[in-house]
């Protein structure tokens, strides 16, 4: 959507100057010559950014600023004046102006200022939308990301939530399996009862049975009192068996029996207790492979795997990264005293380019750490750990991104050409003839291109290497 800018100045030449300049930048511009006129434009044009002169015939630009602060908090206001006094500037900034500019201005400064102020406006708006989304109580809305793959997951959650069937969630570590399990519970009519999660890998083998099924008083040493167990705690609700692949074989048999009978028998007791629990199992292992290897019971596998939800790794849905990153800025920054409102464009690019082997959890930790390091109001590249920062600096996708201020096509194409030539040279161990083959070029053509691109260093290096392996003279023609 085109950004809308309101220019308020009683001087006609100033209005026209700013209007032409800003329209050239692609913004939609409306103008006003007084406070009254400005406020009426504010309510009809809903500007994203206002340039307001301090001195106006019927009042002050501060009146426009105070109106905006109260009624349109996302709208950024830049105050302008020919007679700057520090008091005025300080007062305007205190009231919430984005910046304070002295006339006459430099064209470049105005462009830059408008661009930055609008960036902040967009961030604030997006943050508010996200916050509203995160605040709503449904577990589904806490799942950030609407890539096609996550849409599929969400659809499955909605479908399966209506039923009583067991669900198996699998996915790499940190992909959000527990979040999905909670969302299923919260979208189901069991939401009024408990959601209980147990990490099967974290409980000592000899304690698992009593943890899950409970035990009678005196059932074993240390069992002084009767205990209900997690199945009972989750009665009427949902039990998440996390890391189900870690269950010892003896326990697998007992679990299968409980699922088939819909009843449990606490350790040391005679009678079975009926239970009504939806089981969600999750794993980051390949359970099917474990079945084939005889490490996981096949019958239990099929009991659990009635519906299977695979949570895709983050690298398969990189389009979710910007939204997730912003959601984590809100989750860990705002409200924890951080001034950071967003992440700058280059940094988002770097996050997208990085593979995130640790998936969403790693992204979340990265943002949490960057929030602690960031000194300004946005997270920048220098706030990222080197392994993430590095993946973008050389990335071709950052070249292919169309920049705000236009692009020098010739230079960009040269950069791409240079990058591929360097890579081919690396692959060929510096042997130009081989590099030319890899690039489907003739030897001469490669040499011509390298000269044209002033890749003198690379050329000299390859010639030296070439001499050593007799490659200096082209073998072709």
**Contact positions vs ligand ATP (CB under 6 A):** 143-145, 171, 173-179, 284, 324, 327, 360-361, 364
In the complex, minimum distance from the CB of residue 354 to ligand ATP, in angstroms, rounded to a whole number = 16
From the list Mg ion, ligand ATP, none, pick the one residue 193 interacts with, judged by a Cβ distance below 5 to 8 Å according to partner type.
Answer: none
In the complex, minimum distance from the CB of residue 179 to Mg ion, in angstroms, rounded to a whole number = 9
Binding to Mg ion, residues 139-178 (CB under 5 A): 178
In the complex, minimum distance from the CB of residue 177 to Mg ion, in angstroms, rounded to a whole number = 5
From the list ligand ATP, Mg ion, none, pick the one residue 267 interacts with, judged by a Cβ distance below 5 to 8 Å according to partner type.
Answer: none
The set of residues, in sequence order, having a beta carbon less than 8 Å from that of 105 and lying 6+ positions away, is 80
179/348 with CB nearer ligand ATP: 179
In the complex, minimum distance from the CB of residue 365 to ligand ATP, in angstroms, rounded to a whole number = 9
Q: For residue 83, how many C-alpha atoms fall within 13 Å in the half-sphere facing its CB?
A: 3
Partners of 50 in beta bridges: 6, 77
Cis peptide leading into 104, omega within 30 of 0?
yes
53/242 with CB nearer Mg ion: 242
In the complex, minimum distance from the CB of residue 311 to ligand ATP, in angstroms, rounded to a whole number = 6
75/284 with CB nearer ligand ATP: 284
Binding to Mg ion, residues 211-240 (CB under 5 A): none
From the list Mg ion, ligand ATP, none, pick the one residue 364 interacts with, judged by a Cβ distance below 5 to 8 Å according to partner type.
Answer: ligand ATP
Number of residues engaging Mg ion in binding (CB under 5 A): 1
In the complex, minimum distance from the CB of residue 324 to ligand ATP, in angstroms, rounded to a whole number = 6
33/172 with CB nearer ligand ATP: 172
In the complex, minimum distance from the CB of residue 358 to Mg ion, in angstroms, rounded to a whole number = 13
Q: Would you call 380 exposed, middle or buried from its count of C-beta atoms within 10 A (0-12, 13-18, 19+)?
A: middle
Residue whose C-beta lies closest to Mg ion? 178
7/352 with CB nearer ligand ATP: 352
From the list Mg ion, ligand ATP, none, pick the one residue 266 interacts with, judged by a Cβ distance below 5 to 8 Å according to partner type.
Answer: none
With beta carbons less than 8 A apart as the criterion, state whether 230 and 264 touch.
Answer: no
15/185 with CB nearer ligand ATP: 185
97/351 with CB nearer ligand ATP: 351
197/381 with CB nearer Mg ion: 197
In the complex, minimum distance from the CB of residue 74 to ligand ATP, in angstroms, rounded to a whole number = 24
From the list ligand ATP, Mg ion, none, pick the one residue 176 interacts with, judged by a Cβ distance below 5 to 8 Å according to partner type.
Answer: ligand ATP
**Using CA atoms, how far apart are residues 98 and 95, in angstroms rounded to an integer?**
9
Q: Which residues bind Mg ion (CB under 5 A)?
A: 178
């Amino acid at each position: 959507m085109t950004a809308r800018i309101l220019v308020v100045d009683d001087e006609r030449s100033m209005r026209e100057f700013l209007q032409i300049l800003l329209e050239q930048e692609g913004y939609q511009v409306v103008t006003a010559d007084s406070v009254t006129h400005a406020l009426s434009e504010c309510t009809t044009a809903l500007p994203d950014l206002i340039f307001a002169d301090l001195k106006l015939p019927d009042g002050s630009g501060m009146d426009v600023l105070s109106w905006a602060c109260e009624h349109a908090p996302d709208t950024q206001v830049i105050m302008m004046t020919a007679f700057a006094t520090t008091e005025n500037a300080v007062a305007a900034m205190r009231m919430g102006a984005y910046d304070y500019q002295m006339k006459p201005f430099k064209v470049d400064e105005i462009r830059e200022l408008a661009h930055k102020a609008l960036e902040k406006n967009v961030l604030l708006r997006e943050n508010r939308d996200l916050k509203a989304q995160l605040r709503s109580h449904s577990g589904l809305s806490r799942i950030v990301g609407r890539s096609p793959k996550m849409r599929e997951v969400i659809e499955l959650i909605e479908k399966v939530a209506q039923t009583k069937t067991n669900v198996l969630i699998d996915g790499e570590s940190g992909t959000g399996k527990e979040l999905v399990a909670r969302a299923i519970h919260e979208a189901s009519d069991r939401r009024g009862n408990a959601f209980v999660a147990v990490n099967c890998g974290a409980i000592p083998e000899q304690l698992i049975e009593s943890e899950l099924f409970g035990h009678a008083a005196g059932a074993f040493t240390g069992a002084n009192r009767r205990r209900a167990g997690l199945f009972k705690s989750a009665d009427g609700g949902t039990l998440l068996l996390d890391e189900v692949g870690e269950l010892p074989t003896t326990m697998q048999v007992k679990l299968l029996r409980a699922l088939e009978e819909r009843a449990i028998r606490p350790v040391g007791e005679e009678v079975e207790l009926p239970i009504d629990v939806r089981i969600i199992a999750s794993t980051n292992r390949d359970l099917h492979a474990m079945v084939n290897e005889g490490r996981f019971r096949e019958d239990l596998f099929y009991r659990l795997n009635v519906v299977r939800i695979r949570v895709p790794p983050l690298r398969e849905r990189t389009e979710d990264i910007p939204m997730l990153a912003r959601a984590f800025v809100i989750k860990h920054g705002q409200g924890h005293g951080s001034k950071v409102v967003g992440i700058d464009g280059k940094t988002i690019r770097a996050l997208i380019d990085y593979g995130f082997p640790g998936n969403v959890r790693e992204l979340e930790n990265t943002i949490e750490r960057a929030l602690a390091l960031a000194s300004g109001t946005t997270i920048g590249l220098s706030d990222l750990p080197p392994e993430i920062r590095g993946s973008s600096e050389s990335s071709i996708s950052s070249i292919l991104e169309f920049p705000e201020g236009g692009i020098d096509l010739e230079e960009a194409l040269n950069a791409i050409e240079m990058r591929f030539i360097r890579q081919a040279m690396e692959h060929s161990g510096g042997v130009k003839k081989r590099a030319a083959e890899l690039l489907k070029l003739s030897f001469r053509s490669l040499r011509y291109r390298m000269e044209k691109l002033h890749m003198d260093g690379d050329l000299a290096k390859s010639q030296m290497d070439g001499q050593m392996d007799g490659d200096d003279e082209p073998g072709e023609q």
